[in-house]
Amino acid sequence: MNQPILLIDISNSWTKVGLATPKRIRKIASVETSTLHSTHLKKWWRDLNPAHVMVASVVPKKTQLLLRSLPKKNVTLLNNDLPLPLKIDYPNPSSIGADRLANALAAISHYPLPAVVIDFGTAVTFDIISHDKKYLGGVIAPGLNAMTDYLHEKTALLPKINLRQPRCAIGKSTEEAMMVGAVIGYRGLIRGILHEIQKELKTKKITIIATGGQAQLISKTMHEVSEVNPLLTLEGLYAAYLHQNYSP
C-alpha cells in the first residue's frame, strides 16, 4: 500500500482528521464541525492524495457534504452493516454511533479484553466490549463542557470557566467552586458508572481506555484508567479499513 488512507471523524463539536500508513497514524487537522466546508475536504483530498477515505460521522448534514465533495467510490462510511471483526450484542445495531463502533474496533485491535472505552466528547460515552469481541452496549451522559456551559447559561451570576485541575477540594471563589464541582465531581460520576459496569460484567480485570477532549484532565488522578489514547477513534477507522481490504 503506497498511498496513505485518510481518516475523518466527524463528531458534534469537532472534526478530527488523520492519515494512516502501515507504519503509523498521525493526526493532521482538527476543525470545528460547524465550520467544516467542502473546501476543507477537497484540499485534504488534493494535498494528501489518499488511496481511500474512512469516515465516522454522527452529523448527517456533514456526511452529505462529504459525499458531495469527495469521489464516492473512494469513501467508506463506517456503520454496522459493514463486515467487522466485532460481534454486536445489541437490539438495534443501527443506533450505535459510528464513532463508538470505531472506538470498539480500536479496543479489540490493540488492547486486552474485556474493555471499556470512555470517550469524553460533547457527551461522555462508555462502550463495553466483552472478552470474546462482542459489543455489549454502553452508557451516555452529559459531557463536561455541556454541564459547565449549562450552569453559565442558566444562572445569572455563574461565569463561564476554562477547565483545569483544581488546586484543592474546597473552592475559595465562585470559579474555584465550579472547577471542583466540574472536575472532581465528574471523576465521581465516571467512577460510579465504571463500578456498576464491573459489577455487571462480574470481573475487575477490565482494560479502561479514555479518549476525547477532556480525557487527559479527568483521567489525571484516576488509577482505574489503563491508558489515555487521543487517536483511538482514528485507529478504529483504520482497523475497519484493514479488515475490509486485507482480511481473508
Residue 184 grid coordinates? 472532581
125-157 pLDDT, tens digit each: 999 999 999 999 999 998 888 888 878 788 877
For residues 178-198, one letter each, b for 16 or more C-beta atoms within 10 angstroms of the residue's C-beta and e for the rest, the string is bbbebbeebbeebeebbeebb
pLDDT at 161 over 90: no
- Identify whether residues 100 and 204 lie together within a single domain: yes
Which residue out of 9, 99, 119, 127 is catalytically annotated? 99
70-102 pLDDT, tens digit each: 999 999 999 999 999 999 999 999 999 999 999
Starting at the edge strand that comes first in sequence, how are the strands of the sheet with 14-20 ordered?
Answer: 25-32, 14-20, 5-10, 52-57, 75-77
- Identify whether residues 65 and 104 lie together within a single domain: no
Q: Tell the burial category of 32 from Cβ atoms under 10 Å away from its Cβ (0-12, 13-18, 19+).
A: exposed
Query: Last residue of a domain, which of 77, 99, 124?
Result: 77
Q: Domain for residue 82, yes or no?
A: no
Residue 229 grid coordinates? 489514547
Q: Domain for residue 244, yes or no?
A: yes
Residue 218: domain span: 88-248
Measured between alpha carbons, how far is 164 from 39 in angstroms, rounded to an integer?
34
Whether 81 sits among the annotated catalytic residues: the reply is no
195-205 pLDDT, tens digit each: 999 999 988 79
DSSP 131: T
26-46 pLDDT, tens digit each: 999 999 999 999 999 999 999
Q: Domain for residue 19, yes or no?
A: yes
Query: Last residue of a domain, which of 20, 55, 77?
Result: 77
- Identify whether residues 131 and 172 lie together within a single domain: yes
- Identify whether residues 170 and 94 lie together within a single domain: yes
Q: Domain for residue 147, yes or no?
A: yes
Q: Which residues contact 24 (CB under 8 A, 6 or more apart)?
A: none
pLDDT at 1 over 70: no
CATH code for the domain of 16: 3.30.420.40
Q: What pLDDT sits at residue 154?
A: 83
Q: Which residues contact 54 (CB under 8 A, 6 or more apart)?
A: 5, 6, 7, 8, 76, 78, 237, 238, 240, 241
Q: Domain for residue 183, yes or no?
A: yes
Query: Last residue of a domain, which of 38, 58, 77?
Result: 77
Asked, as a colleague might, if the bond just before 114 is cis with ω within 30 of 0, I would say: yes
Measured between alpha carbons, how far is 127 from 138 in angstroms, rounded to an integer?
4
Mean pLDDT (the chain) is 93
Q: Domain for residue 83, yes or no?
A: no
- The pTM (predicted TM-score) of the whole model is 0.91
- Identify whether residues 193 and 228 lie together within a single domain: yes
Domain count, the chain: 2
